[in-house]
Structure 1
Amino acid sequence: MEEQELCERCKRGENYARKALYEQYAGRMLGICLRYTGDRETAQDLMHDGFLKIYASFDKFTWRGEGSLRAWMDKVMVNMALQFLRKNDVMAQAMALEEAPEAVDDSTVSDIETIPQSVLMQFIQELPDGYRTVFNLYTFEDKSHREIAQLLGINEKSSSSQLFRAKGVLAKRVKEWLMING
């Protein structure tokens, strides 16, 4: 079923279309929720809640061409994850400063490209909540530190610091993985 037809049928509340939408996008939506929560069970709960919100909000969606449905659904899932993280005050649970690496060790891009994507995503999921949230918003959602600060109720310097530390932890993990598997 084409994206536009799927939209129209979901707007009309057709269960077959809702099922098709779920089957087509559940993997991607779970991936988004997992990137933010780092916990499969929580991510699955958020994804299911997100789909309920999507089904209930179809009247607010406007078709803007191929890919617009997916982009809208991505945004709904990111917002669900951020709402969950704000409610659970993850930014207050950030790693203590002394546990964070001081500097980012620059691994070359070619080294990083040898690591399977699933391994890199696992490293991201294992980041402390605050680091992971800022890293995801900055890297995957293309948000500025100002936008991240507004979304999470923190200041811009905190966002920048969290991103720096996230990159440091990831660089260390990449280096360790390369030493073992490279």
Structure 2
Amino acid sequence: MKVIDKEQQIAEAFRRGETSAMDDLFALFSGYLMGVGMRYIADDDEVKDVLQEAFIKIFTQFHTFQYRGKGSLKAWVTRIMVNECLTTLRQKQKIDVVDGEQVPDLPDEEPDTEGLDGNVLMEMIRRLPEGYRQVLNLYVVEGLSHKEIGQMLHIKPDSSASQLHRAKTMLAKMINDYKRRLR
């Protein structure tokens, strides 16, 4: 007997025009996509607005989705959410590209994140300047190259690398400061 995963069930329900497919898709991915949005946008209300826009796009463009196996639906909805976040930030001109700024070197060692609560780390990431946060997420989480990030954000690949360095530096400082306060 062939086992059909939840993503495939939802895709097939959409193809059949079942209205419950939207509810199932929302229930499966809304929390996850909210987390994705929170990595890019610092304001919770703004993330909720972007999430709503992303789901509108997902529902209206579902006919373009091609099921390619387990995880393909999650990848597709994630890409839509990331693109909606970037579009929102571009429209509000919040992309903070800072070149020529003096930034301290990264610490010799990676910051100790052992025992660091995930929510605390998320809040630290959300405190990064918009441009730094975007590059950090696109590079570290989404796995894009600096060339791809440059194309998406309309910046030079060198600027992407520079912003990643600055984001890591700021994040390392926040983590080290937090750990010192706990001692």
TM-score (norm 1): 0.90
Displacement of 1:94 after TM fit? 4.1
More helix by share: 1
Residue identity opposite 1:115 in structure 2: L
2:74 match: 70
Provide closer, same or farther for how the CA distance between residues 106 and 117 of structure 1 changes in structure 2, counting only shifts above 3 A. Answer: farther
Say whether the 8 Å CA contact 1:107–1:175 is kept in structure 2: no
Provide closer, same or farther for how the CA distance between residues 102 and 118 of structure 1 changes in structure 2, counting only shifts above 3 A. Answer: same
Distance in 2 between the 1:13 and 1:47 partners?
A: 23
Gaps of 5+ in 1: none
Q: 1:86-140: CA deviations, max 9, x gaps?
A: 222233x346865x6411124446x212211111111111111111011111111
Say whether the 8 Å CA contact 1:134–1:163 is kept in structure 2: yes
1:21 match: 25
Say whether the 8 Å CA contact 1:10–1:55 is kept in structure 2: no
Displacement of 1:150 after TM fit? 0.7
Give SS of 2:113's match. helix
Provide closer, same or farther for how the CA distance between residues 147 and 176 of structure 1 changes in structure 2, counting only shifts above 3 A. Answer: same
Say whether the 8 Å CA contact 2:132–2:163 is kept in structure 1: yes
- Please state if 1:102 is matched with 2:134: no
Residue identity opposite 1:52 in structure 2: I
Q: 2:53 aligns with which of 49, 55, 75?
A: 49
Residue identity opposite 1:102 in structure 2: P
Provide closer, same or farther for how the CA distance between residues 176 and 97 of structure 1 changes in structure 2, counting only shifts above 3 A. Answer: farther
Distance in 1 between the 2:97 and 2:155 partners?
A: 12
Residue identity opposite 1:104 in structure 2: L
> Identity of aligned pairs, percent?
38
Residue identity opposite 1:83 in structure 2: T
1:1-182 residue pairs with structure 2 within 5 A?
A: 2-91=6-95, 93-94=96-97, 98=101, 101-108=103-110, 111-182=112-183
Residue identity opposite 1:144 in structure 2: S
Distance in 1 between the 2:94 and 2:12 partners?
A: 37
Please tell me the root mean square deviation across aligned C-alpha atoms, in Å: 1.8
Give SS of 1:166's match. helix
Q: 1:17-38: CA deviations, max 9, x gaps?
A: 2112111110100111111112
Paired residues in the alignment total 179
